[in-house]
Structure 1
Amino acid sequence: MSKPLLVRFRDEGSEHGADRATLKEVAKKLGVSETMAIHIAINRMHQRLFPIKHNEEFPSDEALRQIKMENPEKPAVIVDDIRDRLTEHEPEKDR
């Protein structure tokens, strides 16, 4: 698994920035987790910017339902600072 990425949302959405409410609305509409909604959005933008690299169309509604079934939403953990979560999982060092 690759390294996590901290995303800071805008207080208000704009043409070049999104607020958290927008992400929640997209995820709900697609019926997927917020993380999956971000992945779908990035992949769709990539397909639009680099169409020659992609032979498939965007996921259909059926494909999105299948994704949701295969990746059930796990309870989210909200943290103020990602470093707090990372230190919780570090193995204890020998003393």
Structure 2
Amino acid sequence: MKRIEIEYCTRCRWLPRAVWLAQELLGTFEADVAEVALVPGTGGVFRVRVDGETVWDRHEQGFPEPSAVKRLVRDRVAPGRDLGHVEEARDPGGQGGQGG
């Protein structure tokens, strides 16, 4: 079982964002992970790790959309698993977009 860490900046008051993302990940992967840990940090950090491997870093990629993080986490904790509507969001030419 894998461990997910969400490191967030306490000075930036990003705890609510980290909690929300943790809830999203637990709701999706509760049977596939041992724990989701919230790790206080500073310096504008918002980083997601799976077993110590960084899968998302705000400094490099900006704030994550939950669907993007779910795909990255899925690839490490439950490869091949279908994420339903999250997978559809990946296809920019799909039928799910807004019309003009």
TM class, shorter-length = under 0.3
Which is helix-richer, 1 or 2?
A: 1
Q: Which has the higher contact order (CA 8 A, sep 6+)?
A: 2
TM-score calculated relative to the size of structure 1 = 0.28
Bigger strand fraction: 2
Query: Which of the two has higher C-alpha Rg?
Result: 1
